[in-house]
């Protein structure tokens, strides 16, 4: 049973927001939206090109616009970009319009999962471990601020992680509504 008409997924790069989000949408019978993919669809170019042309500021404006649009819908599971929580208005919309699931991942998990990924503009040409650690320091308190439920990252298959997430969401929701 879904605790809200919408389920929003936040968390760091490489936490599994898109993959697990798709499975949650299937389980709860909701439509799935990946915010980064919607930005690419709207712009007709990859996120990396948006960053190259408009910089992070332009990307974040597009992200906020689409987050406002999709979070206003009913019946969606939305995987946000890892930095969507940086904007206070985005955090407010996420908190007000849905149930927020925070998928956590350790630095080691992120490095392992992103080892072959060369598409993420904020990780291009930098010390990935240092950059991911800096992003975590800035973003972790913001994820915590908006999260209704945090799902710790574990070394497991996507199927197992999805099943564990569903179980924890349902248990959390039942406890909230039993009181």
Domain residue ranges in the chain? 6-178
Evaluate whether the domain defined by 6-178 bears CATH number 3.40.50.300: yes
Closest CA to 13 of 115, 96, 92: 115
Q: Which pLDDT does position 143 carry in this prediction?
A: 97
pLDDT value of position 124: 66
- pTM (two decimals): 0.88
Instruction: Answer yes or no: is 36 a known binding residue.
Output: yes
Residue 115: predicted pLDDT? 65
Contacts of 70 (CB under 8 A, 6+ apart): 33, 35, 38, 76, 78
The answer to whether the annotation marks 118 as part of a ligand binding site is no
Rg, the chain, Cα only? 16
pLDDT of residue 116: 67
For position 179, what pLDDT does the model report?
61
Q: What is the pLDDT of residue 8?
A: 97
> What pLDDT was estimated at residue 127?
78
Tell me what pLDDT residue 120 has.
65
How confident is the model at residue 169, as a pLDDT? Answer: 86
18 is in an annotated binding site: yes
Q: Residue 14 annotated as binding?
A: yes
State which residues of the chain have pLDDT below 50. Answer: 1-3
Residue 160 annotated as part of some ligand binding site: no
The answer to whether 83 is annotated as binding is: no
How far apart (Å, rounded) are the C-alpha atoms in residues 72 and 6?
Answer: 9
pLDDT digits (tens, 9 = 90+) for 68-86: 999 999 999 999 999 999 9
């Amino acid at each position: 049973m879904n605790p809200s008409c919408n389920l929003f997924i936040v968390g760091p790069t490489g936490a599994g927001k898109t993959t697990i989000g798709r499975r949650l949408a299937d389980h709860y019978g909701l439509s799935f939206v990946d915010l980064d993919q919607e930005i690419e669809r709207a712009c007709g170019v990859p996120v990396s090109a948006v960053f190259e042309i408009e910089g992070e500021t332009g990307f974040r404006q597009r992200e906020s616009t689409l987050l406002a649009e999709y979070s206003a819908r009913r019946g969606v599971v939305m995987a946000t970009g890892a930095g969507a929580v940086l904007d206070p208005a985005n955090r407010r919309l996420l908190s007000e319009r849905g149930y927020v699931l925070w998928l956590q991942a350790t630095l080691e998990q992120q490095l392992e999962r992103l080892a072959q990924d060369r598409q993420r503009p904020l990780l291009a040409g930098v010390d990935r471990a240092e950059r991911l650690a800096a992003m975590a320091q800035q973003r972790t308190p913001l994820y915590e601020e908006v999260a209704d439920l945090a799902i710790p990252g574990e070394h497991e298959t996507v199927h197992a992680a999805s099943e564990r997430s569903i179980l924890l969401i349902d248990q959390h929701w039942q406890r909230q509504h039993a009181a």
